[in-house]
Structure 1
Amino acid sequence: MPIIQTTKIFTTVDNAVQSGYKIVSAQGSSRSSKTYNILIYLLSYILANKKSLSIVRKTLPALKGSVFRDFKEIMQDKFKIWDNRCMNKSEMVYTFPNGSFVEFFSTDDEQKIRGRKRNILYCNEANEISFLEWQQLIMRTTDFSIVDYNPSFSDEHWLCELNKDSRTYHFISTYKDNPFLEQTIIDEIESLEHKNRVLWTVYGLGLQAMAEGLVFPEFEIVDEFPVNAKQVAAGLDFGYSSDPTAIVKCGILDGGLYLDEQCYRTHMLTSEIIKELKKLGLFVYADSADPRLIQEIANAGIIIFPADKYKGSVMGGLFKMMEYKLCVTKRSVNYIRELKNYVYEQNKDGKFINQPIDAYNHLIDGTRYYTIGKLLGKVLTSKQYSKEDLGIY
């Protein structure tokens, strides 16, 4: 097996399991390397022991876009043992030559939650799932379980009680425990210290806190995007390495702005963005910062228009969103996380100012481009598409 570099989280998890703890609770800040190193540990474990492993998150799109991508990268680039023939894509199960297997599923899948037993359970972003879902999973796990999460929740969350259990090994990690982190990401995390003290506590120090000064303190979680919604279109915020490309389906119905997360992934190529947009078949309102990307997407036959980023457009777009009741589909876990963490900046005296932080806002920015372009009609015109082409009158 090749030599693989790990952080202290790998050793911490290994020591906890070897000491006989039934549950390992990995609390941490943003980019502490907890998910990546937990995966390396679990793969090492099931390669040495014939075991069944379930890796679970709240929704399947979120799971595929995060922990599964890390799993595949580790298998390909670190262990160098990925074999397409071992991966059952329809069932999301990877089977190893020694008989071990890893299954990926979401807690939205009631049948999987109440299904067969497994030896090992790993709940990624466990703060997103309910206590009842956790209970169903843990009672069908025979060896040990691992949970990881950012601690942005109140004292009433079930994880607080779990961490007090004598069978649980609870530890906290921060971005400083990740020696492989790029300086640009370190700078982004550390900038929170001067923007919002609560977010710095959670995502910088890895300590429990609830966000204050929320831009959108109230929103409703709904089952589905309504089929009879009006002015339906997509909002698109470009990203690549540290920031994800975010696509959200937006529509209006009975005073509600309905939002359905479609895509939230890093390292997306233009061709991959086009593929996602073609699935939707909607007009697209996007960030105007990269005309080349806009043109490449338009050349693929997608009707896309850059939102006008006029002076004051950030608050203008947000104020337009505030005119509606925000209704977010339950599968939009990244959008829900953003709404719970998108706050106003604080000055040196700790007072909130009328300027939101530039973080936890990728899907929100996508929605803002929709409100600016579709609802306010402020778009950058071009020879290729007129406002009439885009349904703006």
Structure 2
Amino acid sequence: MLSDKEININIGGGGSSKSHSIIQLLLYKFLTEKNKKMLVIRKTLPSIRNTVIIPFYEIMSAFGVRERVKVDKVGMNLFYGSNMIHFNGLDDPEKVKSSNWNYMWFEEATEIDLSDFNTVRLYLRAPSVDNKINQIFISFNPIDEFHWIKNRLIDDPSFSKDVKVIHSTYKDNPFLPEKAKQRYEELIGQDINFYRIYALGEWGKLENLIYRNWEAVDSIPAQVAGGRVLYGLDFGWNDPTVITRSIVKDTDVWHEELLYQPNMTNKDLINYMKANIPKSDWSKPIYADAQYPDKIREIRLEGFNIKAAQKNVGDGIDMLKRFRQYVLKSSSNLIKEFRAYSWRTDKNGNILDEPVDFLNHGMDGIRYALYSQLRGEGVYKVRWV
């Protein structure tokens, strides 16, 4: 990307290759320029581990340079010659402030507050030996038309002279599978606001949110150890296959994302489960999408206590509204879904009693587990709103 602006805003819909393209750009600079320090940042440290570092490794491998790059996993750094890439979250700000930078990338920037952005921007002041300007790259889905990125950076003339806006949609990604393209196009019949945000990459505002009874937390407290452990499994191919782990304690429930990955065969899934679900938990119930009985049977034969889930969507949502829900900050995809999970609206703006069928794979897995296991018990009397 050729740009002479300090701030480069990559705004667009889902599947538009925003993040992939920025990783390619930063790696190109990393491998061809000299004495450059690059900062890659998200709101939380766990989310950057799961959603940014792995794609960097994959693209380095695709470039054939993985073996030439020194990896410091503990410090979350990459080194090549005199260049460094450092990964960090805003929940650990001191490392960000301890150095100056030539390039910064704010991924999923709608998670970040304006005050955090302004503070980190102060450190975009490392010397440049080749007269290339120091730059910031920002990427996100435009989910809130009142967000500071729009109002402060794009629309404010005092900032906009230093800003380049790059707009993209799924149509700009030639490598996106046809099935995935179809999912974005079908959003026009699901919810016009979701269609504008995730298909057209236009500013919108997520309304009619289903869950407001949740918060992101750093860890599961020790006193929850005696809670009921439940797993949810939503099968996918172009859509991700998702495994969730929930621990229920009284009227509280803690959620963790174990797997969120597309293009997995059932054999891949079984191998993943064997490697990542403790043997002591194989007897714990796993509730999976009932429309795949052959997959469920194959997994059960491997020793897992897997069952077909009850799929009453309305009653399942109503049950989950009766809990206070906590989501681990490391579960970045689950958090994204909780923020977006909304009731559908028709073309006249009327709210319908069904959720938008998009960005809901973790939501389905959680609902499968809790509703299938706890329906009919009648012990959860607290209702959160």
TM-score (normalizing by structure 1) = 0.81
Aligned partners of 2:145 and 2:205 also within 8 Å: yes
Q: 1:348 to 1:131 in 2, by over 3 A?
A: closer
CA distance in 1, matches of 2:280, 2:261: 16
- 1:342 — aligned with what? 341
Aligned partners of 1:127 and 1:149 also within 8 Å: yes
Deviations 1:286-344 (A, max 9, x none): 3144455545655665x43224335xx22232221122233334443322221221122
- 1:274 — aligned with what? 274
CA distance in 1, matches of 2:272, 2:110: 30
Report the 3-state secondary structure (helix = DSSP H, G, I; strand = E; otherwise coil) of the residue aligned with 2:238. Answer: coil
Report the 3-state secondary structure (helix = DSSP H, G, I; strand = E; otherwise coil) of the residue aligned with 1:24. Answer: strand
Aligned partners of 1:32 and 1:178 also within 8 Å: yes
Q: Choose 129-138 or 185-194, whichever is displaced more.
A: 129-138
Report the 3-state secondary structure (helix = DSSP H, G, I; strand = E; otherwise coil) of the residue aligned with 2:146. Answer: coil
- Paired residues in the alignment total 357
- 1:67 — aligned with what? 52
Amino acid paired to 2:51:
S
Report the 3-state secondary structure (helix = DSSP H, G, I; strand = E; otherwise coil) of the residue aligned with 1:72. Answer: helix
Structure 2 residue 291 is the aligned partner of structure 1 residue 306: no
Aligned residues with identical type, % of pairs: 26
1:168 pairs with one of 163, 170, 173: 163
1:109-258 matched pairs, under 5 angstroms: 109-142=92-125, 143-158=134-149, 160-163=151-154, 164=156, 165=159, 166-229=161-224, 231-258=227-254
Report the 3-state secondary structure (helix = DSSP H, G, I; strand = E; otherwise coil) of the residue aligned with 2:88. Answer: strand
Aligned partners of 1:190 and 1:200 also within 8 Å: yes
Deviations 1:38-57 (A, max 9, x none): 11112112222112222222
Report the 3-state secondary structure (helix = DSSP H, G, I; strand = E; otherwise coil) of the residue aligned with 1:37. Answer: helix
Deviations 1:336-386 (A, max 9, x none): 2212211222334332221212212122112112112322289xxxxxxxx
Aligned-pair distance for 1:159? Answer: 5.2
Aligned partners of 2:102 and 2:124 also within 8 Å: yes
Q: 1:134 to 1:372 in 2, by over 3 A?
A: same
1:41-56 matched pairs, under 5 angstroms: 41-50=25-34, 51-56=36-41
Report the 3-state secondary structure (helix = DSSP H, G, I; strand = E; otherwise coil) of the residue aligned with 1:26. Answer: strand
Aligned-pair distance for 1:199? Answer: 0.9
Q: Choose 290-299 or 174-183, whichever is displaced more.
A: 290-299
Aligned-pair distance for 1:132? Answer: 3.3
CA distance in 1, matches of 2:147, 2:59: 35
Aligned-pair distance for 1:121? Answer: 0.8
Amino acid paired to 2:367:
R
Structure 1, unmatched stretches of 5+, are 1-13, 379-393
Deviations 1:268-288 (A, max 9, x none): 522223322229947242314
Amino acid paired to 1:68:
I
Structure 2, unmatched stretches of 5+, are 126-133, 378-385
Deviations 1:67-98 (A, max 9, x none): 22322222112x211117722222222222x3
Aligned partners of 1:65 and 1:265 also within 8 Å: no
- 2:130 — aligned with what? none
RMSD value over aligned CA atoms? 2.7
Q: 1:307 to 1:112 in 2, by over 3 A?
A: farther
